[in-house]
Structure 1
């Protein structure tokens, strides 16, 4: 494919499809791939769940990625600008995406700061038990703020450099290295005595566990894992040249995200089982269980550093996508330079993020609707704005912008072959809004209670 090295109408472009795929995959590949997916597979039927998950990727994930890329490329601007360019009354959906990324980065950077701290701890070794260290570190006001700021500075430094020199260049390095680091951990993990139990837990098919709830878990994991609804895919799509194949790129993004999640299972679970630890889902798996595992392992310091470096790559690639959504909006809306937009946006996000960072220490007792600042941000993004944004995107393409116009954008007016275009249109118009609505309802207990 030809490289889009020049900017069209002042809009920056990716240098080629590989750069776009790595950046978009980077926005999707996050810490959830490492700490949630492996446990979800192990607890929900192993290989049987993987089969269900792959079906959901094909029927839900890829069609939605295609939809968001097409909105961005057709609109040619940020999330707000792209929606507004295609229909002046729908700019609010783009605003929702910008707010989602703004809030998302505010609490996600807290975890990014933790990863930075754990890279150093992996070098020196845990000064105390992993649980004691975690509690001590997360409750330390000074440490939390310092590492939060360092992570945000790294994120801003990349975004300031722009699309090709900053985001694309960094993701083209980080994503392949992430895979390499994961493979190194897999080799070490799977060759440990007793690792077989972890592999069996991860992949042994158990079709008896495939309940309706497990199908919903698979759908939810696909939706949230691919960062659909954050505006990142729309924003990145705006930088994509017209000669680039959207369906092929969407499939590549989903494939990369899934491969990382699968490899992570082989990297993490065999080691956890080999040393007799109880596997858990969520941050405790990464920041308490795994450091203890590396502490017990021969050469554990080296493998601990490698692991947390790859986690850092996953965290940064997601954080720069969040920030780019906000920065792109600021540049186009307020007509400011990228540098100024990046610094001001990051400063405002940090103002919201510091309370999230302190939610584990001195502000742990401050709660809104029963949730700390960190938990509230996570809930609003994951359970509310992401599914609502996904539903509205489907309605917009299927019923407002119209499927025929979207099809022309996806196929570049028939120049690019997309044999499943009619199936895609049906999914977007009729099936996916209902599927996402079900995810939205089941992930919010208060809505379920309304029907009782």
Structure 2
């Protein structure tokens, strides 16, 4: 029997839960790297502009669809489109979130392993040892899968306790803890000798690097950072009340997400430059470069270095967990509502199947050459298809759907909470969703394939 639709119990819980869904590993490594290599403060300023012009309008669009539909992402699009072909945009969002859950849990599990490694003192050694440690672990056929199962079971435990008792309660604990850990590491990093070079690297504008590629990079970062088009925002919005100010909520969530990203830069660059290390991107930054940075930066105070390393991987695990919660909920809501089963059974379907997907993705990074497609591992294929095809396509179609197909009166009623909040920005919002956002997303999509 279909369960009664839940809702968030407080505005704070709603904001923290949705922000937690947006804040993830990409905030910690991708944003600092993009900013550092693309003009520092110049990139940050352009990124903020992109959040305002692209991120927030797309987020509000998903809010409107999710709250109006008051159901899983597929059914919400189906309701607003009266069952025509636009409903498949919602199905694409569910599929995207589901596939991301599987391979994202692999990297999330790595974070748990590194908490254990930090506690056990296994990350101390020369740079070659730390590099070989990561390569040995990530290609192991057993250990990564154990941690993958562990973090998905933790996520499952949160999800089966529902929206208020699970997601909202966990977010109220995890998000403040994440901020505290982040601030502690930022302070420790910025107090290191020579840390000012890292701060300058991040915040000193270099407008000589501003070009078309930088603009498109900032557009892409704003789009991916806010978890647009993977069903999370739309699903969480289905638990919003009719009193929720959608524009205000989108602004608040975007501020939290951007603040975490900028603080992550302040956490990484001062420490890296203090020991003369130029940070790389991707897993190598999180699991190879930074352990060496912490070892060198706090060489005279090894206990402090041990604590900072432990706190850092705890921070990463919390960021990964809050994202996994939102991703898992997308598919859980879909299964239990569409199959007319209980939430618990829907969560079991998602947990078991994503463990299987994650296991195959993890094995593809090792010696299992049969789990490759062309020159890409199964893990890389999932990352490419979801991140570079499904997400831009979903965002593009959502803007067209809400901007041109959904009746303007319905969109305005949701935007203004049926006339109870100001609608002075509605005209700007509609213009951005109809014209600016689709063109910007299309530019990102074509640029990554070197079409423009």
Counterparts of 2:424 and 2:218, CA distance in 1: 26
Aligned pairs for 1:218-257 (under 5 A) are 218-257=218-257
Counterparts of 1:269 and 1:415, CA distance in 2: 45
Structure 1, residues 133-162: CA drift from partner, whole Å, max 9, x if none?
A: 001111111101111111111111111111
On the 8 A contact 2:360/2:371 being kept in 1, the answer is no
Q: Relative to structure 2, which stretch is displaced further, 223-232 or 341-350?
A: 341-350
* Pick aligned residue for 1:306 from 288, 308, 311: 311
* Pick aligned residue for 2:113 from 101, 117, 134: 117
Shift of 1:429: 1.0
Structure 2 residue aligned with 1:97 = 93
Counterparts of 1:410 and 1:267, CA distance in 2: 37
On the 8 A contact 1:365/1:372 being kept in 2, the answer is no
Structure 1, residues 35-74: CA drift from partner, whole Å, max 9, x if none?
A: 1111111111111111111111111111111110110000
Unaligned stretches of 5+ in structure 1?
1-8
Structure 1 residue aligned with 2:212 = 212
Counterparts of 1:114 and 1:239, CA distance in 2: 31
Structure 1, residues 4-24: CA drift from partner, whole Å, max 9, x if none?
A: xxxxx9210001221111111
On the 8 A contact 2:20/2:319 being kept in 1, the answer is yes
On the 8 A contact 1:355/1:363 being kept in 2, the answer is no
Shift of 1:444: 2.8
Aligned pairs for 1:352-363 (under 5 A) are 352-363=357-368
Structure 1, residues 246-268: CA drift from partner, whole Å, max 9, x if none?
A: 10000011000000000000011
* Pick aligned residue for 1:59 from 45, 53, 56: 53
Shift of 1:301: 0.9
Shift of 1:310: 1.0
Shift of 1:176: 1.2
* Pick aligned residue for 1:441 from 420, 443, 446: 446
1:351 aligns with 2:375: no
1:181 aligns with 2:181: yes
Structure 1, residues 157-201: CA drift from partner, whole Å, max 9, x if none?
A: 111111001111111111111111011001100000111111111
Structure 2 residue aligned with 1:34 = 28
Paired residues, number:
440
On the 8 A contact 2:105/2:324 being kept in 1, the answer is yes
Shift of 1:364: 5.0
* Pick aligned residue for 1:371 from 365, 376, 380: 376
Counterparts of 2:88 and 2:155, CA distance in 1: 26
On the 8 A contact 1:122/1:291 being kept in 2, the answer is no
Structure 1 residue aligned with 2:335 = 330
Counterparts of 1:194 and 1:403, CA distance in 2: 55
Structure 1 residue aligned with 2:12 = 18
With normalisation by structure 2, the TM-score equals: 0.95
1:406 aligns with 2:411: yes
Counterparts of 2:116 and 2:369, CA distance in 1: 25
Aligned pairs for 1:183-198 (under 5 A) are 183-198=183-198
Aligned pairs for 1:256-275 (under 5 A) are 256-275=256-275
Shift of 1:229: 0.3
* Pick aligned residue for 1:50 from 44, 49, 72: 44
Question: Deviation above 4 Å: which 4+ runs of structure 1?
Answer: none
On the 8 A contact 2:395/2:441 being kept in 1, the answer is yes
With normalisation by structure 1, the TM-score equals: 0.95
Counterparts of 2:370 and 2:43, CA distance in 1: 38
Counterparts of 2:28 and 2:436, CA distance in 1: 29
On the 8 A contact 2:19/2:257 being kept in 1, the answer is yes
Query: What SS class does the counterpart of residue 243 from structure 1 fall into?
Result: coil
Counterparts of 1:29 and 1:278, CA distance in 2: 24
Counterparts of 2:410 and 2:42, CA distance in 1: 38
1:388 aligns with 2:384: no
Counterparts of 1:122 and 1:393, CA distance in 2: 43
